[in-house]
């Protein structure tokens, strides 16, 4: 059931900035070497992001790679944000397709907290951001495009962006976005078994290869001096 929109939310939209499933599967090898599984996973992650966005009751704008303009990621995202603001929205909640822990309630909370010119950030465990809620008055396209996108420095970098503009911000709960096979496995240890994607993710995830055991070091007390006739100096050998 989609909740009714409040007056606060009328001038707020969601921007889903994403690749198509085929592009995402080609870019991220979440299930190593399994092309079909990667495509299935990419499709389901995108559908989950779209479903959660629609459940929030906020207008949804999706910018696929073919609709994005610009050479670098930051430039393409900045252009997509500018187009959404050009439609007349005052606030924008920006998300991607790789954070299964994101919920509709989180999006609505971000929309409310972004009221009165307050920014909202959803920090990811890898140092990036899975959500940004920003008022149009605090959007500087050039500076926004120049941020450290797709980097573990993005979270701290965006805080600097806000502080430079004297913008108060609130941080949401820290979630994990899925960028590689290891992140997918770690997510499974944090995701509730009731989550609609849990069984699918568990089925698709390929067990990670175990780490090799560390080499056994021989304690110093087990070494002794041995002299070899005709050679010098003596050398250490295990006793």
Q: What residues have CB less than 8 Å from 200, skipping those under 6 apart?
A: 40, 41, 44
The helix (H) or strand (E) run that includes residue 158 is helix 154-164
- So what's the pLDDT on residue 195? 84
Domain positions in the chain are 7-204
* Residue 221: CA count within 13 A, CB half-sphere: 0
The CA–CA distances, whole Å, from 93 to 30, 67, 130 equal: 26, 18, 10
Own/partner pairs, 62-65, CB within 8 angstroms, 24+ separation: 62/15, 62/16, 62/18, 63/15, 63/16, 63/17, 63/18, 64/18, 64/19, 64/20, 65/18, 65/19, 65/20, 65/23
What kind of architecture, by CATH, is found in domain 7-204? Alpha-Beta Complex (3.90)
- The answer to whether 62 and 16 have CB atoms below 8 angstroms apart is yes
One digit per residue, the tens of pLDDT, for the chain of length 239 reads: 445 555 445 699 999 999 999 999 999 998 888 899 999 999 999 999 999 999 999 999 999 999 999 999 999 999 999 999 999 999 999 999 999 999 999 999 999 999 877 899 999 999 999 999 999 999 999 999 999 999 999 999 999 999 999 999 999 999 999 988 888 888 888 888 888 887 878 887 765 544 555 666 555 455 444 455 555 555 555 55
Note the pLDDT tens digit of each residue in 207-216: 554 455 566 6
- So what's the pLDDT on residue 115? 84
- So what's the pLDDT on residue 205? 75
Q: What residues have CB less than 8 Å from 212, skipping those under 6 apart?
A: none
């Amino acid at each position: 059931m989609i909740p009714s929109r409040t007056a606060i939310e009328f001038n707020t939209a969601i921007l889903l900035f994403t690749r198509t499933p085929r592009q995402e599967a080609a870019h991220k090898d979440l299930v190593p070497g399994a092309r079909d599984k990667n495509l299935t996973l990419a499709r389901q992650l995108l559908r989950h992001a779209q479903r959660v966005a629609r459940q929030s009751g906020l207008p949804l704008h999706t910018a696929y790679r073919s609709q994005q303009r610009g050479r670098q990621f930051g430039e393409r995202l900045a252009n997509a944000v500018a187009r959404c603001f050009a439609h007349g929205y005052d606030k924008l909640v920006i998300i991607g397709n790789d954070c299964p822990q994101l919920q509709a309630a989180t999006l609505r909370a971000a929309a409310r907290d972004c009221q009165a010119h307050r920014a909202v950030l959803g920090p990811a465990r890898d140092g990036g951001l899975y959500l940004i809620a920003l008022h149009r008055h605090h959007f500087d396209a050039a500076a926004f495009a120049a941020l450290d996108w797709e980097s573990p420095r993005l979270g701290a970098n965006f805080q600097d962006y806000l502080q430079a503009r004297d913008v108060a911000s609130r941080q949401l709960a820290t979630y994990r976005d899925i960028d590689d096979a290891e992140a997918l496995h770690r997510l499974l240890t944090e995701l509730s078994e009731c989550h609609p994607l849990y069984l699918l993710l568990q089925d698709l995830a390929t067990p990670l290869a175990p780490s090799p055991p560390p080499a056994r070091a021989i304690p110093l007390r087990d070494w002794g001096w041995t002299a070899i006739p005709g050679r010098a100096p003596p050398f250490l050998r295990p006793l």
